[in-house]
């Protein structure tokens, strides 16, 4: 029975992701999500009492996956710059491999559905990133900028590189990722 419940919930999240990225939040109804998932609309409300709960639940799932990918093997790097570069590669590659999810995160961050509670819960997943930024500030490798600005610049720059690679199709994907890191590093590093 537990497997069946997990399958229905996963089907709803997958359908919601597909439809939200295709049609936006306002252009997607819960009935459309239920139909796409192959479940009754009432079933959707058993898992997610409101559309906002579904959107936030999907956001938590996607951001959790992203945080696991971003932090992978970062601590095996020797220097602050190498750690930040590894995180950059992880983030950009996740965006390239998970395009719907990457688009969804961008949509959600700009939507009225994101609440202070949602931000707080998600930030708990990214303590490792904030700790790394704090390390860079403390050891003088990053410029004297607000930590929130640094994390935002890092993330938004990754979105730019993902879009560039997807739509410009450069000959050398790794060079594009590295060039993107160089731009970010030169902008954030202490001069």
- DSSP string for residues in 9-40: HHHHHHHHHHHHHHHTTTT--HHHHHHHHTS-
pLDDT at 85: 98
Question: Which region, left, alpha or beta, applies to residue 170 given φ > 0 means left and ψ of -120 to 50 means alpha?
Answer: beta
Per-residue model confidence as pLDDT tens digits over 95-135: 999 999 999 988 887 777 777 788 788 888 899 999 999 99
Instruction: Collect all residues with Cβ–Cβ distance below 8 Å to 31 and sequence separation of at least 6.
Output: 41
**Alpha helices for 38-98 (secondary structure H):** 41-47, 51-71, 80-97
Confidence band, pLDDT 50/70/90 cuts, at residue 4: low
Chain CA centroid to CA 147, Å? 18
What confidence category does residue 13 fall into, taking pLDDT thresholds of 50, 70 and 90? very high
Is it the case that residue 23 has pLDDT exceeding 90? yes
- Give the model's pLDDT for residue 2: 43
Superfamily in which the 1-49 domain is placed by CATH: Homeodomain-like (1.10.10.60)
pTM: 0.88
Mean pLDDT of 67-85: 96
**Where in the sequence of the chain do the CATH 1.10.10.60 domains occur?**
1-49
- Distance of alpha carbon 54 from alpha carbon 27, whole angstroms: 15
Taking each helix axis from N to C end, the angle separating 147-168 and 99-109, rounded to the nearest 10 degrees, works out to 140
Q: What residue spans in the chain does CATH classification 1.10.357.10 cover?
A: 52-188
Other beta carbons within 10 Å of 74: 18
Residue 1 has pLDDT above 70, yes or no: no
Residue with tokens 């997610």: 48
Give the per-residue pLDDT at 120: 82
Q: Does domain 52-188 have CATH number 3.40.190.10?
A: no
Q: With 0-12 CB in 10 A as exposed, 13-18 as middle and 19+ as buried, what is 191?
A: exposed
């Amino acid at each position: 029975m537990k497997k069946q419940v997990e399958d229905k919930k996963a089907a709803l999240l997958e359908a919601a992701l597909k439809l939200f990225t295709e049609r936006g939040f306002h252009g997607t109804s819960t009935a459309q999500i239920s139909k796409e998932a192959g479940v009754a609309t009432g079933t959707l409300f058993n898992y997610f009492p409101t559309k906002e709960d579904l959107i936030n639940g999907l956001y938590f799932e996607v951001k959790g996956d992203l945080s696991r990918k971003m932090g992978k093997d970062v601590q095996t790097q020797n220097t602050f710059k190498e750690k930040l570069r590894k995180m950059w590669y992880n983030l950009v590659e996740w965006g390239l491999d998970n395009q719907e999810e990457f688009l969804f995160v961008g949509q959600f961050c700009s939507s009225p559905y994101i609440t202070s509670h949602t931000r707080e819960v998600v930030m708990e997943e990214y303590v490792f990133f904030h700790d790394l930024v704090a390390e860079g500030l403390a050891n003088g490798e990053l410029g004297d900028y607000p930590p929130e600005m640094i994390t935002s610049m890092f993330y938004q720059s990754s979105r730019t590189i993902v879009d560039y690679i997807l739509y410009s199709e450069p000959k050398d994907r790794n060079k594009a990722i590295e060039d993107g890191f160089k731009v970010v590093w030169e902008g954030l590093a202490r001069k």
